Amino acid sequence: MFRRAAAITSSPVPPTSDSALSVGLYAHNSTTPADAKGSSGTVAGAVLVRLKAENLKSLLLSQFQDPRGVEWRKEYRGLERALARQLVGFETIGIKALTTPGSQGGAQEGPMPLYAQEFHTYGPLAARLPRYEGLDLRNVGRSLEQWSKASGIENGTVEVLEYLKWKVGEEA
Q: Name the most confidently modeled range: 54-63, 106-115, 116-125.
A: 116-125
pLDDT tens digits, residue range 128-163?
988 898 889 999 999 999 999 999 899 999 999 999
Collapsing DSSP to helix, strand or coil, 82 comes out as: helix
pLDDT at position 164: 93
| pLDDT for the residue numbered 31 | 61
Distances (CA, A) of 155 to 12, 35, 53, 57, 60: 21, 45, 6, 13, 15
- Closest of 164, 162, 160 to residue 80, by C-alpha: 160
pLDDT for residue 93 is more than 60: yes
- Per-residue pLDDT at 4 exceeds 60: no
CA 117 to chain centre: 14
59-73, 77-91, 156-170: least confidently modelled range: 59-73
In angstroms, rounded to a whole number, what is the distance separating the alpha carbons of residues 118 and 92?
A: 12
